């Protein structure tokens, strides 16, 4: 069977799953989910009811990083899995403390009892550390860590892009721009039609894009 990927274009977790699938050159049937109108077919297979969710011949993968590793384990032409173990430590920091601070900065109204400014400072501390880590890439070539983390840095940057661009993180600014202009990112961010039961399969990545 062609694997089925339930996705949502703007979700950073779904972005990184699509990035790895595109890099691995694996074809999936992409089903774009509107989060306020989740289809029952998606809810029936996703244990967490969150995107991304991959349904394949051997079962269901419900975590974005696991989907990335599943795809790249099958085909990794760009060598994304060839990274130091330290790369996974960076992903843990991104997915844990940075995402926690990011949510409470971007969606401050959802956390009225928390100090958004303090969380912003926490996020900035992570970004300053990341800036110090970066050369052309996080390591000596593009890896899983770059494209697992970049969608979240992008989300933080666009809270207030004008302010973000003034911050003293020159390597981070260059790296983020490099990630966002990579062919894999352009492919993963094309607009996808909302999926409905009975629709013809929408294959991702699309030939010729």
pLDDT attached to residue 209: 42
| Residue 73 lies inside a defined structural domain of this protein | yes
106 and 177 housed in the same domain: yes
CATH of the domain at 99: 1.20.1050.10
Shared domain check, 163 and 96: yes
Q: Cα–Cα–Cα angle for 118, 120, 123, nearest 5°?
A: 115
pLDDT at 75 over 50: yes
Q: Which structural domain, as residue segments, surrounds residue 30?
A: 4-77+186-204
Domain presence at residue 133 = yes
pLDDT at 206: 80
Q: Rounded to the nearest 5°, which phi and psi values hold at 98?
A: -65, -45
Is 55 in the same domain as 37?
A: yes
Name the β-bridge partners of 29: 4, 203
Contact 28, 75 (CB under 8 A): no
User: Is 32 in a helix, a strand, or coil?
Assistant: strand
Number of domains comprising the chain: 2
Label residue 184 by pLDDT band (50, 70, 90): confident
**pLDDT > 90 in the chain, percent:** 93
Tell whether 69 and 105 lie within a shared domain. no
Residue 194, CA distances (Å) to 45, 64, 79, 142 in order? 18, 20, 32, 31
Would you say residue 208 has pLDDT above 90?
Answer: no
Quickly state the pLDDT bin for 93 (edges 50, 70, 90): very high
The per-residue pLDDT for range 12-49, each reduced to its tens digit, is 999 999 999 999 999 999 999 999 999 999 999 999 99
Average pLDDT over residues 104-128: 97
The angle formed by the CA atoms of residues 173, 179 and 181, to the nearest 5 degrees, is 100
In-domain check, residue 209 = no
Mean pLDDT, rounded, for 61-79: 97
Q: Indicate whether 121 and 106 sit together in one domain.
A: yes
13 with 45, same domain? yes
- pTM of the model as a whole: 0.95
């Amino acid at each position: 069977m062609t694997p089925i990927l339930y996705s949502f274009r703007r979700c950073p977790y779904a972005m990184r799953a699509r990035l790895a699938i595109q890099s691995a050159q694996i074809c999936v049937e992409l089903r774009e989910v509107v989060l306020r109108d989740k289809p029952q077919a998606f809810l029936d297979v996703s244990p967490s009811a969150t995107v991304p969710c991959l349904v394949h011949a051997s079962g269901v993968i419900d975590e974005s990083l696991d989907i990335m590793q599943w795809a790249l384990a099958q085909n990794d032409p760009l060598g994304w899995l060839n990274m130091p173990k330290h790369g996974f430590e960076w992903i843990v920091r991104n997915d844990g403390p940075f995402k926690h601070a990011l949510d409470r900065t971007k969606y401050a109204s959802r956390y009225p009892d928390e100090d958004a400014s303090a969380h912003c400072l926490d996020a900035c501390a992570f970004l300053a550390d990341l800036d110090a880590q970066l050369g052309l890439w996080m390591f000596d070539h593009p890896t899983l860590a770059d494209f697992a983390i970049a969608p979240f840095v992008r989300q933080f940057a666009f809270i207030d892009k004008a302010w973000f661009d003034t911050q003293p993180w020159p390597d981070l600014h260059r790296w983020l721009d490099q990630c966002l202009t990579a062919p894999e990112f352009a492919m993963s961010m094309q607009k996808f039609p909302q999926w409905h039961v009975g629709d013809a399969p929408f294959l991702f990545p699309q030939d010729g894009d």
